[in-house]
Amino acid sequence: MSDNNAVSPDELAQIAADAAAAGGDTSQYSSNGHNFHQHDNAWRWAGPATGGDWSDPANWKLVDPRGNSVSDTTGSPAVPQSEQNADANVGYYGNTTPMTVVVNAPYYNQIRSLSVWQNSTLKITANYQSGDTNGYVFATAGFENYGTILVDTSARVELGGINSQGGTLTIKNNDGNVVFDNDQVNNGGTINLINASLGTTANPITVAGGTVNLQQNSTLAANLWGEGTTINVDPSTVNTIYVNDRYANNDGNVQGATINGVSENTHFGILGTSSEPVAADYTQNTDGSYTLVISLEDGRSITYPTVNMANGYTPPAHAEIVADGTTGWLIEDPSTVPAPSYTDDTTHQTLAQIATDTDTTGTGIAASSDGHNYHQHDGSWRWVGPTSGGDWSDPNNWALYDSSNNRIPTEDITGSPAIPQAEQNADVNVGYSGSTTPSTVVVNAPYYNQLRSLSVWQDSTLKITGNYQNGSSNGYVFASAGFENYGTIIVDTSAKVELGGINSQSGTLTIMNNDGNVVFDNGQLNNGSGTINLINATLGTTATPINVNGGTVNLQQGSTILANLWGESATINVDPNTVNTIYVNDRYANNDGNVQGAVINNVSGNTHFGILGTSSQPVSANYTKNDNGSYTLVIKLDNGRSITYPTVNMAAGYAPPAQTTIVTDGTTGWLIEDTTPAACFLAGVKLRTVSGDVSVEDIRKGDMLLVQHDGRECEKPVVWVGKNRKIVSAGLPDDEAGYPVRVLKDALAEGVPYQDMLITSEHCLLMDGRFVPVRMLVNGTSIFYDRTFTTYEYYHVETEDHSVLVADGVLTESYLDTGNRSSFVSDSNVVSLHSRGKTWAADAAAPLEVRADFVEPLFRALAERAGVVAGTAPDAQDRHVTQDAELSLLTEAGSLIRPVRQTKGQMVSFMVPAGVSTVRLVSRASRPCDVIGPFVDDRRTLGVLVGSVMVLHANQMQPVTTHLTDADLSGWHGLEQGGVRWTNGNAVLPLGDAPTQGVSMLTLQILAAGPYDVKQDSAETCRRIMQK
């Protein structure tokens, strides 16, 4: 696709302004929405007392609040999902006659509320039809269960945002597809998981009270938060209980859950969103139960104080911690002793009977499999209100029509008010097909009940501004089972909005001020010829990246899209003046080697490309210029594949670096960034001018600075001022994360600086006639990274020639244009200059000095002076180091191989099993600047320095040289002279053709190792590798 769909920064700003202004001030609209139970109408079961088929209209009766039958309903057949939007009841309060109702047909339309009463059973067996996997096959906005709900389908089922689970909820043969909109089950009853998963890594479930039973390879991923829950696990089958330590509670994360039936088949897990576990220990309590304490890397712990073992099982004192490959870490019994039989165990027998009863329930009911789709075309709600600024919540603005285009008097339909979410379940229209009169409708009130379908037509705008009320954050404030948009939909709320499972987006969809809470049930947006605007918004999640098929996507004001682009022909425009991020998921490879068809425009130093953590790890990212002036970005992954963006158009004046930097973002995956070092001032730093000291943010082109030259003070005019915004990448080392450096008042000498000075880590200070980057002088007390910043603006000031400036009384540098000028926004008063690519060697006002023998004495002197500086920070740089590399091999199958011989010199040998052709060299790894001192200008993460490698098999010695010749080999730093090369602690080493019989001896020449931070060990490296 060409860049005809490119949008300029000014056009993006206008899009944001228009979206904010649409509909006017929201105070003119109602904010009183509807909750789940309206108690105006109710669907009652009128079929056989023992139950029957949900899909048979003869089995349902609609009654008003006084119990009178309501017969005036349009649409067919008359079942809850297709007819009057009312509360649905299976059984009745106080029911004593056992009954079972089976839903075997998919209904994509949502019930307003569902009540399953005493002695009543609802069994959901519906599945997708004709290859359709969109939406939910059964959905309710909320439920109360005093009987039994059985979900026995692999398809998606929505059980809503508000729930009261006082009965039995059984989920069988379902891998995490039963959804609770607020990720919480208020469980005074029992939950059975049978070959099923509940909760996900991204959205762990909160189970408040009650009992949870797991059997037949089930998994619970939960925020237990110490609630008094009982968990029973079948000891004879593998079952897993994950807990999320992302939210700490006040009792040190002691879990109140009692866990029964634990055996060697029971795995305890820690979700990947938590701190990493480092130890797991069992101790026996006086009552015969056990306490399991899981110690975490951050110094905290998770404790299960009451763990009851299955009959005949004794846990190990120290359990094994392994990465599970996807979700986090597992706590396992490493014993190889044969397991006892648990067929006589009481817990096993009880749970096995539950599974049998689930299978037999409802088997005698003949249930239809013919369901309903989204558009029924039996009835429709039409907008009849004003063309501008109309309130969705006003019943006078809506009219209901039947399929013959006859208006239905809504006063004849019980329930109030007569608006789509509260009344007849019909297709909803904003505008009409072919409309030419502009109209705007605003939804400012929360409606938790779902529309059957939504159509926004040409020249029509729907703006959703509803938010949660009275502290509630359950469910969606606006929901539709599906939509078609030929006009404009604007979502301007931070609350959750559901736009359904089937959609056609040919108009404009704008999402503002929303952090990933606009949900598409199937994770797909059919964008066709439409436009998606993200304004301070996030679309997609790590667990569910969005599929955007075609059209245009515009990102501005700190927006993020997490997508499976899959090579679709989309155009993405990014605002070059603000930080925006485009994540892509490589979990699903396509046939063209993952070449992305999207054209990306206006890329600048503020644009980040990301790789989701579900993908293989990126190892390099390189730009090459195309013949038409655009660029190709190729991101190579450590599994040998690559992701390619063939058409990346840069913002005016910006040229990307040939090779970018890959950083982990701490939460989502990896970021590809332009980290060209920038020496900058933060706001508040005062520069010396002929008119006195002036704050850097007030400096303008033409201002006269007083600079130092050959020991004399002289004047130089400002020729350029640049400004940019930095968002700190928390979780990285301080210098890579982008934290600013604070130089305390008097840190360099008395009165130097004369106030605390904030600068970026690459900014240089003039020390003994040479420029030294301030990062090399950080001592943690008087000069330190200020970690209170998460984002900040920073400034460049350039004179015609590189100069020695006076900033806060400190001799420092002006901007030296080494090629990164286009990463900055110029003040409107400043003339635009082209980057001339100056160098330190030819153009600097003083030499750049990074040699340790020069910098270390300066560092020591300033560290000693810190004792007389007021307000120093506590020294957090004390590290315990070791020279032990803990070098091991890791096979592709996950087996860890320890050395069998290590000479006092340089040779380390391993026994390699037959069939192994590739290993990883795993070891401790640290940065010299961290373990020796910041005065060492080496910020590589170094494992071991490897020289020669030899493999001995069948008395024949073969050299291995790939690590000395393959520049792109994963886990190795750059090629060096002399036949040596450093690993990064996790380096791939191909061994050539693998012998099919017998073991081989692999011998490595290790020429250097350490020092290392003792917190870094090879076991941690192995866990992280296996987690990918």
pLDDT at residue 368 is higher than 70: no
Question: For position 534, what pLDDT does the model report?
Answer: 93
> Which SS3 state, helix, strand or coil, does residue 909 take?
strand
- Confidence band for 868, pLDDT divided at 50, 70 and 90: very high
pLDDT at residue 830 is higher than 50: no
Using one digit for the tens of pLDDT, what is the confidence trace for 229-244?
Answer: 789 999 999 999 988 7
Please, are residues 116 and 150 in contact by the beta-carbon 8 Å criterion?
no
Whether residue 1011 is preceded by a cis peptide bond, meaning omega within 30 degrees of 0, is yes
CA neighbor of 80 nearest in space, from 132, 39, 46, 44: 44
Question: For position 326, what pLDDT does the model report?
Answer: 65
pLDDT at residue 223 is higher than 80: no
Q: How far is CA 67 from CA 42, 97, 117, 119, in A?
A: 9, 21, 17, 22
Segment 521-531 shows an average pLDDT of 78
Least confidently predicted of 183-187, 257-261, 273-277, 819-823: 819-823
Look up residue 370 and give its two tokens. Answer: 């013919």
Question: For position 659, what pLDDT does the model report?
Answer: 62
Report the distance separating Cα 51 and Cα 400, nearest Å. Answer: 33
Least confidently predicted of 547-561, 662-676, 903-917: 662-676
Question: For position 897, what pLDDT does the model report?
Answer: 92
Q: Which residues pair with 173 in a beta bridge?
A: none
Question: For position 1016, what pLDDT does the model report?
Answer: 60
Rounded to 5°, angle at Cα 347 from 343 and 353: 80
Using one digit for the tens of pLDDT, what is the confidence trace for 147-184?
Answer: 999 999 999 998 887 778 888 999 999 999 998 877 78
Report the distance separating Cα 316 and Cα 333, nearest Å. Answer: 6
The 3 state secondary structure assigned to 846-868 is CCECCCHHHHHHHHHHHHHHHHH
CB atoms within 10 A of CB 564: 22
pLDDT at residue 993 is higher than 60: yes
Report the distance separating Cα 115 and Cα 37, nearest Å. Answer: 10
Report the distance separating Cα 152 and Cα 156, nearest Å. Answer: 11
Q: Which residues pair with 827 in a beta bridge?
A: none
Q: How far is CA 317 from CA 172, 253, 290, 506, in A?
A: 34, 21, 10, 61
